[in-house]
Structure 1
Amino acid sequence: MPQMNMVQAINDALRHEMRRDARVVVLGEDVGKVGGVFRVTQGLFDEFGDDRVIDTPLSENGIVGTAIGMALYGLVPIPEIQFADFIYPAYDQIVSELAKYRYRSGGEYPSKLVIRTPFGGGIRGGHYHSQSPEAQFIHVAGLKVVCPSNPADAKGLLLSSIRDPDPVLFFEPKRIYRAAKGDVPEGEYTVPLGQAKVVRPGWHVTLVVWGAMLYEALDAANQAAAQGVECEVIDLRTLWPLDIDTVIESVKRTGRFIVVHEAPKTCGLGGELVALVNEKAFLHLEAPPVRVTGFDTPFPYTLENEYLPLSHRILPAILETARY
């Protein structure tokens, strides 16, 4: 089984689906000859040509609008938005059009496509290249939202997303594009959408994360274990539809709940998770649920490591919650 980083695993998934299904096309800024700003699409242009790997103008609303039209006519487009921060010019296309087609047409026009985009901090990109806008799309009925944390899941989740009948936003944590490495099965396999994964079993505190923050949570959990606190770490993998059952099952065992995400705290997905835990496991809670998140400010450049919810911020929350 080959070792890959996330860039290689995503590239492998794209190549696999383009070979398997002639309807699959890739489009976006510099995705062709250059292979994308992070080289995720490298080599696809040479193999599949410019009618299936399409360099577009610098126009996010044009990229997504074109992809929607392709999907309505039976293609399976995979548009890339170079950074999630640049997705907002296409927001109306995604929210007002893409998310609604299946519903408004009674299922006749499902608009099957996957929007790939790198998101989050960790590369010293400042406030225009580090945002985490996932909650803004989770709020929209008709969209699915996926975020892998490792190469094997990245490939399996992307294959599932491409084959899903609904439009999917596929957020790729660029901080770990090359830092996260692991065994990735060759050829055909999928990771089902809507299934979280218990990455680290524990019985004192439930810790829910996604994307690059998984590794910070695991580091904090290992430090907490040295002080006698065992955390159960859950990687959501699919942010919507949400596998709340796995979370609730864990909280019923531990009695304590912490959620970690890079996005600002206010109206982030963490707030919805806290609400669901309160609704479904209130009588099992032995401490107030806690959110460890980014701050309600623009993402900073020089203070990036203060803004991000790294392990040095997660560990005190674990210990305080365990001792409550």
Structure 2
Amino acid sequence: MAYIASATFPNGWLNFELSVLRRLQFSSIALPFTGEPNICLQLKRWRVRVAANDPMTWSFTKALAMVENDSEKLSEAEIESIIEDAYVPRERLDNPTLLNWFNETDAWWLDNVRFNAERLATPYKRAIALTLGMMVGDYVLSFGEDNRQLREPLSLSRVFRQLAETLPFPSDNSLRSKATNQDVRAFVAERRHTDLLFLRLPAPVVQSPASNQTIPGWREEWLQGGGDFWNELERKRAGKLGSRVQSKQQYLELIEDLLHTAAHIPAWAIAHMENGFLATEELVETVNRVRRVDAVYSKDFSDLLGVRAAIVTASG
């Protein structure tokens, strides 16, 4: 599986994206590959209608909780119902693949929280609970061999409560923002009343990676209930942007194909990470074949990430 969305997004990178978007005029935006929804929260504060899509369930779940959701929060009683007896084993794990990621105690906690979250009354509250569960799992995986002894035993319910207090409050900007879990091409084709396409290009992967061994991979397996879906997911997405590619030329062709699909959207901003596979100049040449490029913005993150960021804008 080539694309499973970005697990982390450095603040500097996010600030760069926002600084470019602030230069553009738009009241509605579509993100085919949302990844972490942090940027969407800021866009809602700018009174922008956001359409946040991602092919991965984990990203969609976060966007449902924090982008589409305008008002719902978990009550104290609901939080208690989610973490109540979360460490108590049931007859068997619903999702035994958790043991590939976590020790047995943590796996039981996550399995029970996943089970309890499904009993909440609304999709938004379930999404909030699952978002918090993902944050707890990420917290566990942030400990390595050299610092694992610093973890307090049986503390995940307390961590869940603390994270619930830090989760951004739902923001209602009186516009109907939307979270979707669609095929990217279909999502773009359906955006008939959108001012701006913000396309975060997925990192190109030439060889088949062990994507299910990444941080987003555990999230996806937790939400999907196991790991049996990976091959089918890759089959469905073959030949589309975000799938495994054989060459740079194929990657550029997939970008161009999606941009043709987006020809009805008045303005584009295309975010690219220059990491040695594809030069920004090659991306500009590809975009120019579909629509004239207006500007190219770049920022050097070599010291932090070893890459350069670029955003190409075009309107037509």
Q: TM-score, normalised by structure 1?
A: 0.28
- RCO higher in 1 or 2 (8 Å CA, sep ≥ 6)? 2
Q: TM-score, normalised by structure 2?
A: 0.28
Compare the two structures and name the one with the higher strand fraction: 1
Compare the two structures and name the one with the higher helix fraction: 2
